[in-house]
Every structure is written in C-alpha cells, then in structure tokens.
Structure 1
Amino acid sequence: MTPLKTLFAGLAMTALGAGAVQAQDGSKLQEVLDRGHLILGTGSTNPPWHFIDQENKLTGFDVDMGRLVAKALFGDPDKIEYVQQSSDARIPNLVTDKVDLTCQFMTVTAERAQQVEFTIPYYREGVGLLLMANGDYADYDALKAAGSDVTVAVLQNVYAEEMVHAALPQATVDQYDSVDLMYQALNSGRAEAAATDQSALRWFMVQNPGRYTDAGYGWNPQSYSCAIKPGDQRWLNFVNTVLHEAMTGVEFPFYSDSFAKWFGTELENPQIGFPVEYK
C-alpha cells in the first residue's frame, strides 16, 4: 500500500472509530446513565401488574421489571422516575421520548413491532379456569368430562363464547360486565368455573389463600414484553441482557421473588450446566 493510501486508510479507520463512539454516546443507555435515573412508563390500575398499594406506592410485577433495569444501571432499583400512563399512551410516550422504557403488560404483536422495539418476553399470559377449592370439580379434566353440566363465568366480550368453547366445547357460558360479578357467580354456585387471565387468576388466589384453585389448564397464549423506541440496538441489547439474566442468571432471585409475590408460584432454579436456551 502506498503512503497516500495508508494515510487515507488510517483516516477512514479513525472516522469509523469516532462514528462508533458517537453512536454509542447517542444511545439511550448513555443518556440514562448520564441522567442518573430511569424513566419508566407503566400503569397504575391493574394488579398484580401495576397498581397503587396501601402505602400509596406504585408496585406490581411490571414495576419490578423496571426496578431490575434500574438496579442493573445504577446498583439501586429505586432510581426510577415513574410515568403513569394509559394503555393507549404506551407507544406514543416511547416514540416521543417521554419515557426510556415501557413495561405495562404489553402483548407482543406484529403490528406493534412495526412501531416499537420489543424486548424478550418476561411473562407468558393466557386464559385459565378458576375453581372453588371445595367445589364439585377438581380440575380441567373433570370440567371437560361434565360437558354441558358446567357453567363458566367470563367477563363480557365479543369473543367470550368462542374463547371458553376453545377449552370447554360443551360448557354453558355466562357473561358478566365486571370482574366482581364474575367472581360472585363462582362464589354463589351459579357458575362452576370462572375463565380469566392466568395472571389475574393467580393473583386472586394469592389474595384469597385456600379458597380457590387453578383447574390446571391454560390456553390462548400471548407474550408480554417491555418496549423501547425503535432504532437503538445498544439500549435494546442492554435491557434484553437484564431481563435474560433475571430469568436465567445472576438476578434470578430478584425475578423469582417477584414472581412468587405476585403470582404465588415458586419457580425452579435455572438448570446449571449447558445453557437451556440452546437445547
């Protein structure tokens, strides 16, 4: 290579290096680190995901996911500024930089993935069947075998009958316009089961220990992920790393304690040895 070409090559490499540094400095990750706290978008009205507790403190499983990220950034899970937002503000607040990260029981869909960058899932939602612990039917198999003798209470929805019949094809479906009325139908014996989100089912059992049981069958799966503004791979990689290691690595105790608190389920420790993700 001639001296002139060597000079141009050196200048080009310097420019590339400077560009890489500039790209990193322009990442949301660096912005958040420089600011000294995370701005998290989440809700405040849907336990166990996000709600105001008796001490007037915002709490819930979504909130804990944000606290995990803050802990990874600053060694302190409480270095967070919360933006309490409605569901329809989740995407607008990201793309206008009002929040750094949204964790708000956000279902991953292809349509939404055109507007935001989704992280890896931190929870898999689905529909479940809540039973009275001392009821006539012990589990899903018993409900299904009973056929049309079973009445299922469900929150009123245009897809309610179709949803219930996907699991119990012969069951009678009673729709109610509030969750409280749905649970009242179960408590009074007007319904043998209540169909609701698995997370709501588990939270209700945590709040009422020994009174209810899970039929042991889930369907209609959907993934919940946090989301960031599109176009920032470094920030996405960082949040993904935090969530991944919370579910499989060094922060598993934080994640599993939160899972047990909100859903009443003790998770098994991640398998030691060959990474389960590659099996």
Structure 2
Amino acid sequence: MKNIFICLMLLVTGFLISGCSNDKKQQIVDVYDKIKARDKIIVGVKYDTKPFGFIDNNQKISGFDIDLAHLIAKYLLDDPNKVEFVQVTPQNRILALNSGQIDMVIATMTVTEQRKQVVEFSRPYYIAGQAIMVNKDSDISNVNDLKNKKIIIVLGTTADRNIKNIAPESLIQGYRTYNDAFAALKNNRGDALITDDSILLGLIDNDKGFKILSKRYTQEPYAIALKKGPESHKLLFYIDNALNNMENSGELKKLKQKWIEN
C-alpha cells in the first residue's frame, strides 16, 4: 500500500511539472508574430531629445528616431504609418520594453555590455560621441578643467556611468530629463553638461549662448532595443535586414542629413 501511495505521488508530481512547463511555453509569444497580428508596431521614443525625438512647433512628435520608426513600419508592415509612439525616458525604457508595453525602443539607446544582459540590440544605426557643453563665456576648454566643477548629467544614460572615468574629481548633478538638465545649466546651477554630441546639438539649436567643446570622449552606437529572449529573435532578424537595406539604399544617410548635418 505504501509503495502504491508513493507511485501515485510521483505520478501527480510529474503531471504538475509537465503542466507548469507547458504553461510556461504557452506564455512565450513571438513578438514579430504579435506585431503582424496587430498590424501595428508600438515604439518607445523620447519626447525631449531633439533632434532624435521631440515635440515640434505643431505639437507633433518628430525627429531622427521617429522617422526611423516609420521606416521600420514600412519594412515590416508595408505601411510607414502603422506605428504607435509611447513616451519613454532613460529611467523607464527597459522596464516598458521587457514588460511588453512596447515592442521596441528607438530612443538614442547606446549599446553597452551591461545593457546586452537585459535587452536584445539590433545593429547600430547611428554613432554618437559624448562631449562637453558649457556657456560660451566659460573658461572650461577641456576635461582637465572639470576638477571640482559641477557637472550636469541625465540619470540612466551612459554619461551617468562614463562621467566617473571622464572627470573623476568633478561634482556630479543628475537630472531626470534633458530639458531639466539644460535648464539647470542655463540657470548656472552647473558649470558644464555632458552627454552625446548629437543631443547637445539639439539642445543649443535655438540657444546660441552655449558651445560644445571639440573633443569626443566616447563612441556611442545607437541601436534598436527589443525584449530579451527567444521571442524577439525573429523580429531582430527582420529589423537588422531592414537597417541593412536602409544603409544600402541611402535612407539612413538621408536621415542623418535631414536631422543632424543640417
């Protein structure tokens, strides 16, 4: 009788484990298939990062990353307008991605080894470099002048991490958005602002009271981020193919000319 009871318990346990395994498999939904069924991509973008993602004078979301998202929609769904934008920040974009709120992040997101542990990255679509912006009358001319100076960064960005190597003896002030960081610099709450050169160019586009120092201290490859896991591998394949086609066709070059070089 005891042996029969043990056998029954093992049998039940086996069924439970098998059921849990099957449930787990059923929960994995391929992201590309989900997009095709929905007939729309949902993209996390920034709203405060001119010229990549910002609200223009007509109160519409615009920029390099926005145009890129439309091109991705064209390649995946044959229609550049089949895209929905969701605002993300450096602090919440990975959470929004891995929770399934969005399909992808196209938001000046730099590829790093640390981030590769939690998201899938496409091939890069743009290479930026971190630079220093100061008041045009500032006596700061290079990184050596940042000792004991108040340096402004945006929290959750690669500048947040790199500042410790670039200017280890500086005094760091972190802000949640680029607009807040630039406002702090304009109000003399800091001596310099460090972030990607392409973003700095957007900040001073309509404000000529500041200058960007010539040296670049890093290379920042921007890529499209997807949810970590096998459910994103098919989508990653199609996105990489789309980016390769955009490069070969000159579409990526046109985006750079439109938003960066002008």
TM-score range, shorter chain: 0.5 to 0.7
Gaps of 5+ in 1: 1-25, 167-171, 267-279
Alignment correspondent of 2:13: none
Which digits, 9 at most, give the CA deviation of each residue in 1:183-239, with x for residues without a partner?
A: 465xxxx97x76443122221343357x76543310133332211122132211111
Secondary structure of the 2:92 match is: helix
CA shift in 2, pair 1:257/1:176, >3 Å: same
> Which residue of structure 2 lines up, in the alignment, with residue 257 of structure 1?
254
Q: Measured at CA, do residues 87 and 240 of structure 1 come closer, stay the same or move farther in structure 2, by a change above 3 Å?
A: same
Offset of residue 32 of structure 1: 2.0
Residues 6-155 of structure 1: pairs in structure 2 closer than 5 A: 27-130=30-133, 143=141, 154-155=151-152
- Give the AA of the match of 1:206: D
Paired residues of 2:52 and 2:63 also in contact (CA < 8 A): yes
Please tell me whether residue 225 in structure 1 is matched to residue 223 in structure 2: yes
Structure 2: distance between partners of 1:95 and 1:194:
30
Q: Equivalent residue for 2:5?
A: none
Alignment partners' CA distance in 1, 2:170 and 2:91: 30
CA distance 1:82–1:196, change in 2 (3 Å): closer
Deviation at 1:164, TM superposition (A): 5.3
The residue number in structure 2 matching 1:198 is 197
* AA at the equivalent of 1:85: V
* Greater alpha carbon shift after TM alignment, 113-122 vs 81-90: 81-90
With the length of structure 1 as denominator, give the TM-score of the two structures: 0.61
Residue type of the alignment partner of 1:155: I
- Equivalent position amino acid for 1:220 in 2: T
Percent identity reads 23
Which TM-score applies when normalising by structure 2? Answer: 0.65
Partner of 2:19: none
Distance 1:175 1:111 in 2: 22
Q: Which residue of 2 aligns with 1:269?
A: none
Q: Name the CA distance, whole Å, in 1 between partners of 2:102 and 2:131.
A: 33
Q: 8 Å contact 2:46–2:87 — kept in the other structure?
A: yes
Q: Is the Cα–Cα contact under 8 Å of residues 149 and 171 in structure 2 kept in the other structure?
A: yes
Deviations 1:25-62 (A, max 9, x none): x7433432332221112232333332222222122222
Equivalence for 1:239? 239
Q: Which secondary structure state, in structure 2, belongs to the residue aligned with residue 48 of structure 1?
A: coil
Conservation of the 8 A alpha-carbon contact between 1:52 and 1:59: yes
Cα distance in 2, alignment partners of residues 27 and 160 from structure 1? 35
* Deviation for aligned residue 1:70: 0.7
Counterpart-to-counterpart distance in 2, 1:176 and 1:202:
21
Relative to structure 1, the CA distance from residue 183 to residue 90 in structure 2 (aligned partners, 3 Å threshold; closer, same or farther) is: same
Distance 1:161 1:122, change over 3 A: closer
Unpaired segments ≥5 residues, structure 2: 1-28, 155-159, 175-180
CA displacement, residues 151-204 of structure 1 (integer Å, 9 cap, x when unaligned) = 9773168879755548xxxxx96877742342465xxxx97x764431222213
Whichever residue aligns with residue 259 of structure 1, its letter is: K
Structure 1 235/119 Cα, relative in aligned 2: closer, same or farther at 3 Å?
A: same
Aligned-CA RMSD value: 3.9
Q: How does 1:148-187 map to 2 (within 5 A)?
A: 154-155=151-152, 162=164, 165=167, 178-183=181-186
Aligned counterparts of 1:238 and 1:125: Cα–Cα separation in 2: 24
